Amino acid sequence: MHVKEYDRIRRFALLPAGRIAYVEAGIGPVALFLHGFPLNSFQWRHAIERLSMHRRCIAPDFLALGYTEVATGQDVGPAAQMAMIISLLDKLGIDRVDLVANDSGGAIAQLLMTGHPERVRTLLLTNCDSEIDSPPPALLPVIELSKKGRYADEWLVPWQADHALARSPSGLGGMCFSDPAQLTDEAISTYLTPLIATRRRKRLVEAYAVALERNALAGIASSLQRSSVPTRILWGIDDTIFSPESPAYLDRTLGTSRGVRRLAGKKLFWPEEDPDLIAAEARALWQVGDG
């Protein structure tokens, strides 16, 4: 699915938090895809192609990221993101979802499954925050630059201007993708263009980062232990952002863990690079066939 097709299926829902961008494809029970930072729902395009025959796939852009237009004065922290997701589901008349999540989207998924367990059927969790690693130390420079209003101009603007830099070891591709070449020119533009389009958008993406300084998952362990939501954990073990201790922690803490699959050679944003694996694990978790 290329960007033109993705743009064609983008929709907007007007909510108190703002005009929420999302894409939708397929029919049947709903699967909700939660993206990472500073990405947007484009991260899940290939997985949605593979799973739309089994699920009504919906992938929103979080507040302050992607093509969502944030209401004036709206908080963009994790709790506000969770509230926006619930509001979006209500708007669309959706009772329950199968969650698929990555990075900071994984933290929001954990808040959803513990705060609103009746809304979540299953959770497919990839490299993300855990209570013992939120925020990860690797994110602290981003948070500090964001506090000073410098992150967007010093990181995102140069990456958008020079895609080779974005794929370099110090860029988004080198830091977070197993194969930086998988971060295509159209993906870089789709992710970064809306974030630096205006001064307000730059400040919003920085507000998103600053909000991650406080551990939104603090104290969640007992709720995870009580959870009856079947959860499968997939973890790229070459991730340099999140702790290698987190998958084992999540596996032993979650009340209904379906185990951990550790993936050699894969970094944080591997779900974009290996949609076949995402699709296969999702089908297994959902107990549906290949056809």
Q: What is the pLDDT of residues 97-156, one digit of tens each?
A: 999 999 999 999 999 999 999 999 999 999 999 999 999 999 999 999 999 999 999 999
- Residue 291: its pLDDT value, please? 56
pLDDT in tens, 1-14: 788 888 888 999 99
The structure's pTM equals 0.97
Closest to 52 (Cα-Cα) out of 91, 11, 24:
24
- For the segment 58-81, the average pLDDT, to the nearest whole number, is 98
Q: What is the pLDDT of residues 172-185, one digit of tens each?
A: 999 999 999 999 99
CA 89 to the chain's CA centroid = 17
Please, where are the H alpha helices in the chain?
3-9, 45-51, 78-91, 104-115, 140-147, 151, 157-161, 163-166, 172-176, 185-192, 199-211, 221-226, 246-253, 270-273, 275-286
Q: Which pLDDT score, from 0 to 100, does residue 150 have?
A: 98
pLDDT tens digit sequence for 203-253:
999 999 999 999 999 999 999 999 999 999 999 999 999 999 999 999 999
Write the DSSP assignment of 121-179 as a string of letters.
Answer: EEEEEEEE--TTSSS-GGGHHHHHHHHTT-HIIIIIHHHHH-HHHHTSTTSHHHHH-SS
pLDDT exceeds 60 at position 273: yes
Report angle CA 191, 265, 47 to the nearest 5 degrees: 45
Residues 29 and 55: beta-carbon distance below 8 Å: yes
What count of Cα atoms within 13 Å lies in the side-chain half-sphere of residue 288?
A: 16
Confidence (pLDDT) at 72: 97
Can you tell me the mean pLDDT for 85-105?
A: 98
Provide, rounded to the nearest whole percent, the portion of the chain with pLDDT above 70.
99
Q: Does 15 have pLDDT greater than 60?
A: yes
Q: Quote the mean pLDDT of the chain.
A: 97
